[in-house]
Amino acid sequence: MNPAAPPAPVRRADPSVIDTRIAAWRLLVTLGLVTLGNSAMYVVSVVLPAVQAEFGVGRADASLPYTLMMVCLGIGGIFTGRLADRHGLMPVLWVGSVAVAGGFVWAGLSGSIWSFGLAHGLLLGLLGSSSTFAPLLADTALWWNRRRGIAVAICASGNYIAGALWPPIVQHGIDTIGWRQTYILMGVVCGLGMFLLSFLMRQRPPLAPAAPVSGAAGVLSAGQRQRPFGLSPARAQQLLCVAGVGCCVAMSMPQVHIVAYCTDLGFGAARGAEMLSLMLACGIVSRLVSGLICDRIGGIRTLLLGSALQGVALLLFLPFDGLVPLYLISALFGLFQGGIVPAYAIIVREHFDPQEAGARVGAVIMATLVGMALGGWLSGWVFDLTGSYRAAFINGIGWNLLNLTIVIWLFRRVRRAPPAAS
């Protein structure tokens, strides 16, 4: 044997397994990995009041760990996605499981808000959660053709299952054993769970010609995918990225600050954690329904619908601040916005060259995560500036209008543009 010869690549699955029971079982494992790996995205919102009080910082500074984590998650998604393409998912998930365990433990032992923030950014975001988001979305899309929309939606739902599952558990831990001990326990549970599930992801995805893609304007030709929305690919992607930032700045306002908002209103952190859990549980339903809708009407129409409804839900937070109305509005917000982020992945698959889909999905998903990061910090900054969350909700509505304007313009171009030459 030649010692300089490269190692044999991991064998890819036979293309005949696409859309089969094998793909369905893999999707179930993927759902578990996303639920465990994305836990920190919602846990940090629950501990925000306790961390702010212990470290004696303002609301904006207390929001920085979330901001750092989401920015690093977006950057890490591109990095971990490329590693998964080259080496397969299993080694990437090994690194992610160690990072999730280490990040929670480091944060639980932190002596300052900056140490707490670095634990979320470098370990929980850059290496941990990133290994179970963009790489798994891309992997899922390769195992499905006819039901790709609902499959990607199920995968993305793990993110909201994490948001529905972990906040009340963590709030109970904070009330009984303290936030530090709760964080350390989360590291053990989530890190170990990810490591064990990673062994079921050894098989590389199949490579097969993509099925014909249908969008809002019908079956798209190769020429149309070379000129998405009648624009150059670079400009079209830039507009999608700006839209992604806009919708997710708006989306992050209730998700990051609902616990603190309820505390300020006198309802207590436990009620806020329940609202966050309800919001994200409804988001699971929204993502599944939106996946079915995507398969029928295309990604751009689904995104347009979700953006408009999210704006309506944000408007409802302004006149109502009672306990029961906040529960109802939280549920509506979850139902309205859950399908927005997965729609971007479908739009890229519909309107861009399939050979470039992986990199472009990673870039657009990164933009949405940057929006979540910016929105979490910006809402805290506006609160510190005004002493009220009313201005923060108005700020979110403005960003949502930016997203809606771009999506409407792209949708109108889809309807008006003639078929591009192949």
pLDDT of amino acid 214: 47
Ramachandran region, residue 230 (left: φ > 0; alpha: ψ -120 to 50; beta: rest): left
pLDDT, averaged across the chain: 86
Look at residues 103, 110, 91, 106 and name the one whose alpha carbon lies nearest to residue 128: 103
pLDDT of amino acid 80: 85
pLDDT of amino acid 213: 47
Confidence of residue 19 (pLDDT cuts 50, 70, 90): confident
pLDDT of amino acid 5: 44
pLDDT of amino acid 181: 97
Domain ranges, ordered by start, for the chain: 17-416
Tell me the CA distances in angstroms from 191 to 122, 186, 218, 221, 300, one per residue in order.
15, 8, 44, 44, 36
Selection from 53-57, 77-81, 135-139 with the highest mean pLDDT? 53-57
pLDDT of amino acid 355: 62
Contacts of residues 83-91 at CB distance under 8 Å and 24 or more positions apart, as own/partner, are: 83/135, 84/135, 84/138, 84/139, 85/358, 87/10, 88/10, 88/201, 88/202, 88/204, 89/135, 89/136, 89/139, 89/198, 89/201, 90/198, 90/199, 90/201, 90/202
In the predicted model, what is the mean pLDDT of residues 46-60? 88
pLDDT of amino acid 13: 64
Q: Using CB atoms within 10 A of its CB, is residue 229 exposed (0-12), middle (13-18) or buried (19+)?
A: buried
pLDDT of amino acid 207: 64
In the predicted model, what is the mean pLDDT of residues 90-97? 96
Confidence of residue 223 (pLDDT cuts 50, 70, 90): low
SS3 110: coil
Confidence of residue 24 (pLDDT cuts 50, 70, 90): very high
Contact status, residue 392 vs residue 379, Cβ threshold 8 Å? yes
* pLDDT tens by residue, 278-324: 998 898 899 899 888 888 888 899 999 999 999 999 999 999 989 99
For residue 331, report the phi and psi dihedrals to the nearest 5 degrees: -65, -45
Q: Dig out the tokens for 206 from the structure.
A: 């199949």
Confidence of residue 342 (pLDDT cuts 50, 70, 90): confident
Look at residues 385, 227, 257 and name the one whose alpha carbon lies nearest to residue 333: 257
d(CA 320, CA 333): 14
Confidence of residue 104 (pLDDT cuts 50, 70, 90): very high
* pLDDT tens by residue, 246-258: 999 999 989 888 9
pLDDT of amino acid 420: 45
Ramachandran region, residue 178 (left: φ > 0; alpha: ψ -120 to 50; beta: rest): left
**CA 270 centroid distance within chain:** 24
Contact status, residue 174 vs residue 50, Cβ threshold 8 Å? yes
Q: Dig out the tokens for 248 from the structure.
A: 């997710």
Stated as kind and residue range, the H or E segment containing 412 is helix 390-416
Look at residues 265, 270, 242 and name the one whose alpha carbon lies nearest to residue 317: 265
In the predicted model, what is the mean pLDDT of residues 71-90? 84
* pLDDT tens by residue, 131-165: 998 889 878 877 888 787 889 889 989 988 898 89
d(CA 260, CA 249): 17
SS3 14: coil
Question: Following DSSP, what letter does each residue of 348-395 receive, concatenated?
Answer: HHHHS-GGGHHHHHHHHHHHHHHHHHHHHHHHHHHHHHHSSSHHHHHH
Number of C-beta neighbours around residue 45 at 10 A: 26
SS3 241: helix
Look at residues 371, 390, 290 and name the one whose alpha carbon lies nearest to residue 334: 290
Q: Does domain 17-416 have CATH number 3.40.50.2300?
A: no
